[in-house]
Amino acid sequence: MSSATIQTDGHQAPTFTTAEQSAMRDLWTVYDDHYDEISQEAERGLAEDPEFGPLIKGMSRDLMEQQNQRSRALMRDAMRDGRWEPYLADLLEQGANYARMGLSFVSWYRAIGVIRPSILRRLRAAYGEDSDRLLGTLKALGQWFDTAMSTIGDAYLNTKEQIIVEQQEAIRELSTPVLTLMDGLLLLPVVGLIDSHRARQMTDHLLQGIHRFRAKVVVIDITGVAAVDTMVANHLIQAVEAARLLGATAIVTGLSADVAQTVVKIGVDLSRLHTVGDLQGGVSEAMEFLGYRLERTATGTN
Amino acid sequence: MAVPILKLGSDLIASIQSALSDEDLIRLKDDLARQIGEWRSRGVVVDVTAADVMDSFTIRTLLDIAQVGRLRGADTVIVGLKPDVAFAMVQLGLRLDGMSTGLDLEEGLALLRKRREGPADGG
């Protein structure tokens, strides 16, 4: 395809028969002749739309005019001359932008619902006498909308997928902090689901932390872990053993009653882990191990 | 390449500085076994900071060193495992059961001292 250089993300230009092409040109002729009127009608029709309304109001005349000219040129290339790739590439880009702005996909159908009758009316006026020609342009109109909407739909899906990936990345980054509580004591709070990827990252962070802060004891708090299965238990054991290889003792805290029951029921052997009921207990045990003593001073306010 | 063994007070320090062949490891084990008796040492620190890989033979030899040492009256501590080496070992299921580990030489010596001072509590 000659469009190899243009990024259309799997969107190929629609292929039309000669008859369809000439119908598309007929459609364009009518659309082009009444372009400004149709744009204005669409603008009026969408002025009260909950999503497009504010968007249209927020746009300056100049910007709108500029955008109109731009899409007009792209559509002319596509519908009159059969060069669809630049038009589709533009739609993909615009779709992605609107998706990021939070414009819903359904709203595009509302927009089409406004534009379609306005074009249909003019098609009837132009080709009303010639029913074959009219039918051809109607079909072309459908093809045009289908192509445009599937492209925009794809742009939406791509954008949403990308957002999901970004958020997953953010959650991963957020969720494995290694905190220093005092000299030689690290805290690793684990929240959410532990999958292999996260477990690896968690253990990695923990080991780097032990090395950097010269920690002797680490408290791994799993209060925020919803479910512990064999996999998760093994990940925990691995983390604890790896910590021990660096000379640090690990204390696991925060096994809830439910989690403890599950662990016993599925028969996971956690006897190699040193577990303490809650974070407070774990920290005080760690402090004892390190030779610290927490003392209340007389100057305290409470 | 032979591993140098240094004597520091009642402890011996073996610092592995480069990748070792199996023969080197066996020689290290023999040397340590001999020198523990020679110096009446109470503790051995094996520093593996320079090791980028720990294979099963190395680990078995280290475990042997610890056992032989214990039989001759010396505690053994392995120090200087790097985070990624430790992680890889755990993932491969290679364990140093029954052996003490420390972050670095300093920690290892401190651990041995603590053991001697308070033999009741095992680290």
Q: According to the model, what pLDDT value does residue A242 have?
A: 92
pLDDT of residue B122: 43
User: CA torsion, points A275, A280, A286, A288, in degrees to nearest 10?
Assistant: -120
Q: B111 in contact with A at a CB cutoff of 8 Å? A: yes
The 10s digit of each residue's pLDDT in A89-112 is: 999 999 998 898 888 999 999 999
Enumerate the residues of chain B whose CB falls inside 8 A of the CB of residue A208.
83
Instruction: State the ipTM, two decimals.
Output: 0.78
Query: What is the pLDDT, as a whole number, of residue A297?
Result: 83
pLDDT at A33 over 70: yes
pLDDT for the residue numbered A4: 38
**From CA B103, how far away is CA A243, in angstroms rounded?**
10
Q: Give residue A301's pLDDT band: very low, low, confident or very high (50, 70, 90).
A: low
- pLDDT greater than 80 at residue B10: yes
Using the beta-carbon criterion (under 8 Å), do A248 and B83 form an inter-chain contact? no
- Per-residue confidence (pLDDT) for residue A261, from 0 to 100: 87
- Output the average pLDDT for chain A: 87
Q: A77 φ, ψ to 5°?
A: -55, -40
DSSP sequence for A287-301: HHHHT------TT--
Strand A249-253 and strand A274-276: the pairing is parallel
Cross-chain Cβ contact B103/A210 below 8 Å = yes
pLDDT at A7 over 50: no
DSSP tally for chain A: helices H, then strands E: 11, 5
Write the burial class of residue B98 (CB in 10 Å: 0-12 exposed, 13-18 middle, 19+ buried): exposed
Does residue A87 contact residue A77 with C-beta atoms inside 8 Å? yes
Residue A9: per-residue pLDDT = 53
Q: What is the pLDDT of residue B56?
A: 86
For residue B122, the 8-state DSSP code is: -
Chain-centre distance of CA A49, in angstroms? 26
User: What mean pLDDT comes out for the span B2-18?
Assistant: 89
> Across the interface, do A208 and B83 touch by the CB < 8 Å criterion?
yes
Instruction: Using the structure block, give the residue that is written with the tokens 């093994």.
Output: A234
CB contact under 8 A, A246 and B81: yes
**How high is the pLDDT of residue A185?**
94
Give yes or no for a contact between A95 and A156, defined as CB atoms under 8 angstroms apart.
Answer: yes
Pick from B86, B96, B101: which is nearest to A207 by CB?
A: B86
The mean pLDDT value of chain B amounts to 87
Residue B92 near chain A (CB below 8 Å): no
Q: Which stretches does DSSP call E strand in A114-184?
A: 179-182
**Is B101–A203 a contact, with Cβ atoms under 8 angstroms apart?**
no
Read off the pLDDT band of B123 (50, 70, 90). Answer: very low
Contacts by residues B18-22 (CB-CB < 8 Å, ≥ 24 positions apart): B18/B50, B19/B51, B19/B52, B19/B53, B20/B51, B20/B58, B22/B57
Please tell me which residue of chain A has the smallest CA distance to B95. A241
All domains in chain B, ordered by first residue:
5-115 (3.30.750.24)
pLDDT digits (tens, 9 = 90+) for B69-108: 988 889 999 999 999 899 988 888 888 877 889 999 999 9
Domains and CATH numbers, chain A: 2-167 (1.10.490.10), 179-290 (3.30.750.24)
Mutate: best of B87, B94, B104, B109, partner A, most A CBs <10 A:
B87
Among chain B residues, the shortest Cα distance to A235 is held by B91
Across the interface, whether the CB atoms of B89 and A242 are under 8 A apart is answered yes
Which residue in this structure is represented by tokens 């032989």? B68
**In this predicted model, what pLDDT tens digit does every residue of A244-298 receive, in sequence order?**
999 999 999 998 888 888 888 888 888 888 999 889 999 999 999 999 988 888 8
Considering only alpha carbons, which residue of chain B is nearest residue A201? B87
Q: A118-176: per-residue pLDDT in tens?
A: 999 999 999 988 989 999 999 999 999 999 999 999 999 999 999 999 888 777 766 67
The number of residues making up chain B comes to 123
User: In this predicted structure, what is the pLDDT of residue A264?
Assistant: 86
Burial A115-129 (b: 16+ CB within 10 A, else e): beebbeebbeebbee
Yes or no, beta carbons of A247 and B101 under 8 Å apart: yes
Nearest-by-Cβ selection for B81 from A204, A208, A245: A245
Ranges A20-24, A31-35, A145-149, A270-274: which has the least confidence: A270-274
